Structure 1
Amino acid sequence: MRARTYKPDAKRSRRLRKKLRLGEFQELGFSCPVTLVGVLSEEANDALLDRFLAEAIEANNLAFGGGWDYNYIVRWEYRESVSEEVRQKVIDWLRAQPEIKDVHPSPLTDAWHGHDE
C-alpha cells in the first residue's frame, strides 16, 4: 500500500485542511539529538533525562518522544506548534548541561507530514 502524500498547493476546504493539519492548521515540532560527553551510568542517564523532562520539556508544555540520539519534540496542547522561542529555550538548556557534548537541533518541521518539508 502506498503512503499518502499531501500536496501543499492543492485546493482544499477549511474542514479538510483542519482534519489533515495543513495550511493554517499545520503543527510544527523539531528534533534535537545530542552527543553525550561519554557513556553515562544508568543512574546518571536517568538523572539527566529526569531533569530534561522536568526543566526543558514539561516547563515549556512540550511532549518528547525518543531518546538522546533520535527524538522529536512537539507542543502538548492539541493543534498547537512549537514556537522558535521555545525551541531555542530547549536548545539552550541542553547546551548548558555538562553531560552533553554537542547538540544537533533541526529547524521547525511539519509534525504530521514528514520532516523533509
Structure 2
Amino acid sequence: MPRNLQSKQRLKRLSPRQQKKLRVGAFTEMGFAFEAALKDGLAPAAEDAFLDAWLNEVDTQGVSFGGSFDAGSPSILNGMVFPVSGVKVDADLRETLIAWLTQRAEVASVTAGELSDVWHGE
C-alpha cells in the first residue's frame, strides 16, 4: 500500500529543510496536464506560429511547459505546465492558460487535468 507523503503525521516528523528537499507540505509543486487538438488543414507555418505563441505565453506567465507536438491529422499538443523560478501554478494560472488555448483560432479542442503534485502525483 502506498504511503501518503502529505499526511499530517508524516509532515510533523519532518523539518522544514526535509520538507523542502522532499517537496512536500508547504513545498509541494503543483502543475497540470493538458492536450490541445489543432484544426485540420493548418499549414506547417501556422502550426509553428502557434507553437511559438504558446511557448511565449508560458514564458510570460513565468512557468514552464514540457511535452510534445504530434504533427498529424489532427495535430496534437500535449504535456504538462509546471512551476519554475518560484512562480507557483495555481487554479487562476491554470484557467488563464486554458482560456488562452481555447481562444486561439488554430485550436479545435482542449482537455485539461486538474492541478496535481508534479513530484508525487499518480
TM-score range, shorter chain: 0.7 to 0.9
- Rounded to whole Å, the distance in 1 between the matches of 2:95 and 2:33 is 12
- Rounded to whole Å, the distance in 2 between the matches of 1:108 and 1:65 is 15
Greater strand proportion: 2
- CA gap of 1:58–1:23, structure 2 versus 1, over 3 A, is same
- Rounded to whole Å, the distance in 2 between the matches of 1:81 and 1:112 is 14
Partner SS state of residue 44, structure 1: helix
Q: Which amino acid aligns with 2:111?
A: H
1:73 corresponding residue in structure 2: 81
- Map 1:74-113 → 2, pairs under 5 A: 74-78=82-86, 80-113=87-120
What is the aligned length? 110
Structure 1 runs of 4+ with >4 Å offset: none
- Rounded to whole Å, the distance in 1 between the matches of 2:90 and 2:66 is 18
Structure 1, unaligned runs of 5 or more: none
Q: Which amino acid aligns with 2:63?
A: L
TM-score by length of 1: 0.82
User: Alpha-carbon deviation of 1:44?
Assistant: 1.5
Q: Which amino acid aligns with 1:65?
A: G
Instruction: Indicate yes or no: 2:60 matched with 1:59.
Output: yes
CA RMSD of aligned residues (A): 2.0
TM-score by length of 2: 0.79
1:26 corresponding residue in structure 2: 28
Percent identity of paired positions between Structure 1 and Structure 2: 31
Structure 2, unaligned runs of 5 or more: 69-75
Instruction: Indicate yes or no: 2:38 matched with 1:47.
Output: no
